[in-house]
A and B are shown apart, each in its own frame.
Chain A
Amino acid sequence: MNLTLYVWRQKGPKEKGSLERYEAKHVSPDSSFLEMLDEVNEDLIKSGKDPIVFDHDCREGICGMCSQMINGIAHGPDTEITVCQLHMRKFKDGDSIYIEPWRAKAFPLISDLMVDRSAFDRIIESYGYTSAHTGGVPDGNAIPVSKVNADIAMDAAACIGCGACVAACPNASAMLFVSAKVSHLGVLPQGEVEAARRVKAMVSQMDAEGFGNCTNHYECEAACPKGIKVTFISRMNRELLKAIPQVEKKAAGGGF
């Protein structure tokens, strides 16, 4: 199949960017979207031009590195999928495809389709963990965890940190990401101990990074490649409400 691509090209954060038009010829419907871009890049290199820069790594839908807005949809037109798992058979011969980077103030652009998502790391650093020391922990079966809660924790922990929720949110809000981690740890007895400190610290950091606010559009849920539900956001709203009355002298990494 033959396609026309409109790809966002921008050399660096300070340079001006624009959509450039490319032709992708003889694309196999069995190839993945990134393999299609690989071939476009091969043609660009051979004609002495700079190939398109895009993040990718595992190419099996789990590392969370790939991040492209395809025809206005985070990770492209398929459900619960990352760009690397999206296959060209989802498109028709002669289609035009718009490819843009994630756009959010908290995700500054690095080059072309590559953005800086270190804000997510800083949110996890703020308190996205349990404070367990290596060694000196009880036996794995010492504290039973109800299967229901273990399953909820796993649903939340499936997040791959790709940033599609932010990209798809009309407000560029990171609530789905943050709430998934708050819920994952908060629902387990091992993490519940510090749940109040955690939610305060993580919300503070999220706000400091310049993400937008959640206004309940639920676009994040629709875009999430791992099917994380917006009810985790509700859970986080609940966690913080419970945490507000618990005043501490100083919470780790900020908080209130």
Chain B
Amino acid sequence: MILDGKCPTGPIETSWDRHRFEMKLVNPANKRKFKVLVVGTGLAGGAAAATLGELGYNVEAFCYQDSARRAHSIAAQGGINAAKNYPNDGDSIYRLFYDTIKGGDFRAREADVWRLAQVSNNIIDQCVAQGVPFARDYAGYLDNRSFGGAQVSRTFYARGQTGQQLLLGAYQALCRQVQAGSVKLHTRREMLDLVVVDGEAKGITCRNLVTGQIESYWGDAVVLCTGGYVNVFYLSTNAMGCSVTAAWRSAKKGAYFANPCYTQIHPTCIPQSGDHQSKLTLMSESLRNDGRCWVPKKQGDERAAHQIPEDERDYYLERKYPSFGNLAPRDIASRAAKEQCDDNRGVGPGKRGVFLDFADSIKRLGEDKIRERYGNLFDMYEKITDENGYKQPMRIYPAPHYSMGGLWVDYNCMSNVPGLFVLGEANFSVHGANRLGASALMQGLADGYFVIPNTIANYLARITPGKVKDDHPEFKRSREEIQGQMDKLLSIKGKKTVSELNRELGKVMWNNAGMARSEQSLKEAIKRIPELREEFWNNVNVTGVSGSTNQQLENAWRLADFLEFAELFVKDALHREESCGGHFRVEHQTEDGEAMRDDENFCYVGAWEFKGIDKEPELHKEPLKFENVELAVRSYK
């Protein structure tokens, strides 16, 4: 089937404004009759719930954490982009739009990206009004920096805690609505099912993570803001609780999953130190502004960094990409690090790491200047590795960080299941095959504050509020099914723990579908994943009961979903016979090892329809049209 993104036609500069005018509105007096369920309280969810509540809708918001303030958006360090052009360095909405399309390797929709660039300016204004303490200059105006290799300074930041500050802004706006009575907050709840009645999303089934109760919530629309799925690699920079569960269970209820193979591997993470490791820690890529990446020229070199003379060091990024050097985009920098390690020139324990050396910058600027810029990152590095980054080079290695793929949505952020909206990282829309730095925060808030409040009305205006409530038999059926799953998981009483199996899945995914993918590696994964799934359902050991706090059970169902989703991920990667952005197929590269896109055959969004476990998913294509930018080879040489 050919999917239609329902993008506005005509000049792109006015597309969002025209679309807003064309959409239906809900009468102010009727808004409170509509109940909207918002799942997840990160940047997208928090902003959406707060704004919808403020508009007068009857909102219920859900999060698995103990407070809406803890979603993983909080961990974003670097900043948020906006086309304000405050520094007068040539930025514009068009340039932000162009950079995002190009950065995404021409695999995102033009209209969505334009809208993102357009509302980016409103986001900054909104956040300032909320009291987000952005960095300022001595004149009292907002400070900008260049980030992630952008040629203009368009990144707004709040020390190294931009994500935290933006999230707290959204959380506080949400709290204001809770106080006003327009939003009801349900914390420590995890969504385990989407309830679909007559083809439309009408509610969710949750587990209360404290009491273990399976609960039903009805709503006239469901807004999923449940983040990304890179924990499918087990070790990632995501929080421990990040999972594909809400998105995947919606996919199993009919929502299409788009481009699951587009995942971002972030180049500047602290390498794994051993098998005990539970997560990887990211350090802001701003470090690459002053640090130089290198590995020893000699293979298997066991010497310490300071013993390796200058002429025996390979500054591989500067060598391969003379014009961008150490600031090459994330996917390129990550892959280059992997190549060095694969070539047995990695450093540190396990030889999976490269040096990020500040010696030259310290010599040039002084240690104090470097401390002023990155002090908190050096401290964090030392806390984790016990090494002093000022005295010896840091060791870094790429780690899974962000998923560009997600549930398929149209221009209105609505999935193919009417009434199911998907925002932020959980959808696939604006980043194409690769996300640029400081644009995830921008997307989450754009969707939450400025897109969904407009587009949801267009859907709600067409339906009758409260037509289906939680006394509908579909809710009971869903509860029983979920309870059945819990009971099944607890009854297996096998030999392996959830985390052992989780690690195994992670290893398969990282080795076969990580930074570089080949037909052979992907086929191997397609064989291994169902075996692991089989082993999981026969040999997992989940202790405790379902009727109380049970963190093992939580991990178990999250893994169960990853085990199903991983197969789709790999199938998508196998079907996409090209290299683009975060998706690198070794068969499709230029002579000097760069990604080679195939615009003739793959210039489309691949949206997969779930047909049943152990059944082939069906691929639906949404062709991508580029009318405002020219398809070009993405070169950073």
Contacts and interface: CB of A to CB of B under 8 A. Distances in A.
The short answer to whether A and B are in direct contact, CB under 8 Å, is yes
A171 to B, nearest CB: 23
Nearest to B498: A45
A245 interface: no
A156 B173 CA distance: 18
Given A53-B551, A64-B70, A150 B135 contact: yes
A217 B81 CA distance: 42
A203 to B, nearest CB: 16
Nearest to A60: B281
A28 interface: yes
A53 B449 CA distance: 36
Interface stretch (A1-9, A138-146, A206-214, A233-241): A138-146
B187 interface: yes
B548 interface: yes
Interface in A72-125: 78, 81, 85, 87, 89, 110-111, 114, 116-118, 120-121, 124-125
Contact of B544 (A39, A50, A118, A139): A50
A154 B158 contact: yes
Nearest to A186: B131
A58 to B, nearest CB: 4
Interface string B446-466: 000110010000000000000
Given A45-B497, A63-B239, A124-B175, A137 B126 contact: yes
Given A126-B179, A130-B131, 13 more contacts: A61-B380, A89-B386, A110-B549, A120-B67, A128-B175, A129-B131, A134-B449, A140-B127, A140-B134, A146-B140, A150-B136, A150-B140, A190-B130
Contact of B541 (A35, A36, A46): A46
A125 B67 contact: no
B274 A132 contact: no
B67 A134 contact: no
A42 interface: yes
Nearest to A56: B240
B391 to A, nearest CB: 18
A20 interface: no
A230 interface: no
B142 A140 contact: yes
B210 interface: yes
B521 interface: no
B279 interface: yes
B240 A135 contact: no
B107 interface: no
B69 interface: yes
A158 B159 CA distance: 10
Nearest to B210: A110
Given A35-B277, A131-B176, A154-B159, A51 B499 contact: no
Contact of B239 (A49, A58, A139): A58
A252 interface: yes
A153 interface: yes
Given A12-B548, A61-B380, A78-B383, A190 B75 contact: no
A25 interface: no
Contacts of B185: 121
B136 A85 contact: no
Contact of A124 (B171, B210, B380): B171
A134 B142 contact: no
Contact of A62 (B122, B161, B500): B161
Nearest to A89: B386
Contacts of B624: none
A185 B137 CA distance: 19
A243 interface: no
Interface residues of A, number: 81
A65 interface: yes
Interface string B486-501: 0000000000010110
Interface of B: 47, 50-51, 54, 65-70, 72, 74-75, 84, 86, 122, 124-131, 133-142, 158-159, 161, 164-165, 168, 171-173, 175-176, 178-179, 185, 187, 210, 237, 239-241, 273-274, 276-279, 281-282, 380, 383-386, 449-450, 453, 497, 499-500, 541, 543-544, 548-549, 551-552
B383 A62 contact: no
Contacts of B130: 129-130, 132, 190
Contact of A121 (B68, B210, B281, B499): B68
B131 A191 contact: yes
A145 B67 contact: no
Contacts of B47: 134
A131 B173 CA distance: 8
A132 B239 CA distance: 30
B551 A51 contact: yes
A130 B129 contact: yes
A63 B210 CA distance: 19
Contacts of B51: 134
Contacts of B142: 140-141
21 contacts: A31-B276, A32-B278, A38-B276, A38-B278, A38-B499, A50-B543, A50-B544, A57-B70, A58-B239, A62-B164, A63-B65, A129-B172, A129-B176, A130-B129, A130-B130, A132-B126, A132-B173, A134-B51, A134-B173, A140-B125, A188-B133
A109 B386 CA distance: 34
A147 B136 contact: yes
Contact of B67 (A87, A89, A161, A188): A161
A85 B383 contact: yes
Nearest to A11: B548
A65 B187 CA distance: 13
B616 to A, nearest CB: 36
A58 B75 contact: yes
A11 B176 CA distance: 34
Contacts of B66: 55, 65, 116-118
B133 A184 contact: yes
B633 to A, nearest CB: 36
A140 B124 contact: yes
Interface in A182-213: 184-185, 188, 190-191
A86 to B, nearest CB: 8
Contacts of B136: 144-147, 150
A62 B75 contact: yes
A110 B453 CA distance: 36
A55 B66 CA distance: 9
B125 A138 contact: yes
A58 B141 CA distance: 32
A118 B133 contact: no
Contact of B54 (A30, A121, A133, A150): A133
A61 B279 CA distance: 12
B126 A28 contact: no
Nearest to B158: A154
Nearest to A120: B67
A138 B172 CA distance: 19
B16 to A, nearest CB: 14
Max chain B C-beta neighbours (<10 A), residue from A11, A161, A253 = A161
A185 B279 CA distance: 34
A250 to B, nearest CB: 13
A59 interface: yes
Given A85-B383, A118-B66, A158-B161, A141 B131 contact: no
B180 to A, nearest CB: 9
The 7 A-B residue pairs with the shortest CB-CB distance in the complex, in nearest-first order: A144-B140, A129-B172, A137-B129, A132-B129, A153-B133, A154-B133, A31-B276
